[in-house]
Amino acid sequence: MAAISPPPARTAGPQCRPQPAQDFLLRKGQIAKIGAAPDERRAIEAARARSVEYRNRNYGRVSGFGRRSDNPHPPTFYAERTTFMGLPLVLNKKVVPALACVEAALKRECAGQPYRPRTVGGIRGENTFKDYEVSNHVYGIALDIDPQLNPCCHCVGFWAENPVCRKKVRSPYERMAMPKCWVEVFERYGFHWLGHDELEDTMHFEFLGDPDRIFE
Ligand SMILES: [Zn+2]
């Protein structure tokens, strides 16, 4: 049998590994339901606790949530300046490589539907959810792209007045200026799009993949 020659050495840096969002981190499993049976309520609370513990351990502990032993550092300890499509933003350093994978793929694959973001937002010091929910912006693992063009139709506040939110649509993709191709690329590298959520938050992506599996 002929000897098998080794694969050629990689020259273009590490390869981005496709991965799905981890189900247990999805927002929809953690939201309290009116009229939930005790079993269901306990399952929701357990899902919420698991999600907080995982995020605290990986991305920094949010004060008031989880246990002190989860992480000695707050998320701001992991904050890193980066850029996305030429725009500056600050994210948790553990997810910066995943966003770089997304950006490279967007340039490769979505050039047919040109879209140039004007504003992006990442980490936030304040929790924008009330009560028990911790926004992934606080962990620095979420970003918003052009809120003016990609609305959150079921968020609190003025959104519902937006004409795009008032029109009848068959899918949330019709409620935004961003191309669907962008959503597909983000989702391939572990980001969850909140356009799928009941909030229809079309500007918002959050990294729910495994930060230790961003590269092959
Ligand atoms: Zn957001």
Q: What is the distance between the alpha carbons of residues 109 and 182, in angstroms, rounded to a whole number?
A: 9
Q: How far is the CA of 144 from the centre of ligand 1 (A)?
A: 5
Say which residue the tokens 């079309």 belong to. 202
Kindly write down the DSSP assignment for every residue of 96-135, as one continuous string.
HHHHHHHHHHHHHHSTTS----S-EE---SS--S-TT---
What is the model's pLDDT at position 160? 81
Q: Spell out where the chain has E strands.
A: 79-84, 87-92, 120-121, 142-145, 191-193, 204-207
Say which residue the tokens 């390869």 belong to. 15
Instruction: Delimit the domains of the chain by residue range.
Output: 23-213
Tokens of residue 59, six digits:
């991305």
What is the model's pLDDT at position 10? 46
Q: How far is the CA of 145 from the centre of ligand 1 (A)?
A: 8
What is the model's pLDDT at position 4? 60
What is the model's pLDDT at position 1? 52
Angle formed at CA 205 by CA 201 and CA 206, multiple of 5 degrees: 120
What is the model's pLDDT at position 128? 76
How many residues are listed for the chain in this entry? 216
Q: How far is the CA of 142 from the centre of ligand 1 (A)?
A: 6
Which residues of the chain are modeled with pLDDT < 70? 1-13
Predicted model pTM = 0.92
Residue 203 · residue 214 · CB < 8 Å: no
- Ion ligand 1 neighbours (CB, 5 A) are 144, 204
What is the model's pLDDT at position 131? 75
What is the model's pLDDT at position 145? 98
